[in-house]
Homo-oligomer: A and B are copies of this chain.
Amino acid sequence: MKGMETNWFWEFVTPHFIQQFSISDILYTGESEYQSIQVLDSPGFGKCLILDGKIQCSEFDEFIYHEALVHPVMIAHPKPETVFVAGGGEGATLREVLAHRSVKKAVMVDLDKQVVDVCRQHLPFLSDGAFDDGRTELLRLDAMKYLEETELRFDVVIIDLTEPLEEGPAYLLYTKEFYRGLLDRLAPGGMMSLQAGSTSMVISYGFSAVIRTLRTAFEMVAPYLTEVPAFGGTWGFAVASRDVDPTRLSPDEVDGRIAERVSKPLRFYDGVTHQGIFSLPKQLRTEMASDTRIITKDQPLFTY
Please give, as numbers and ranges, the residues of chain B lying within 8 Å of A152 by CB-CB distance.
Answer: none
B5, B16, B38, B286: the one within 8 Å of A43 (CB): B16
A32 interface residue, CB < 8 Å from B?
Answer: no
Q: Give A46 Cβ to nearest chain B Cβ, in Å.
A: 11
Contact A53 B6 (CB under 8 A): yes
A8's closest neighbor in chain B, by CB?
A: B8
Question: Which among B21, B38, B52, B282 is the interface contact of A16 at CB below 8 angstroms?
Answer: B21
Task: State whether B282 touches A266 (Cβ < 8 A).
Answer: yes
Q: Which residues of chain B have C-beta atoms less than 8 A from A218's C-beta?
A: none
- A259, CB-defined interface residue at 8 Å: no
- A24 neighbours in B (Cβ, 8 Å): 26, 29
The segment out of A80-88, A106-114, A184-192, A270-278 that lies at the interface is A270-278
In the complex, the answer to whether A19 meets B18 with C-beta atoms within 8 Å is yes
Q: Which residue of B lies closest to A12 (CB)?
A: B1
Cβ distance A213 to chain B, nearest Cβ, rounded Å: 23
Interface pair B26/A25, CB less than 8 Å apart: yes
| Interface CB pairs A-B, < 8 A, 7 | A1-B4, A2-B52, A6-B53, A16-B42, A19-B19, A267-B282, A273-B280
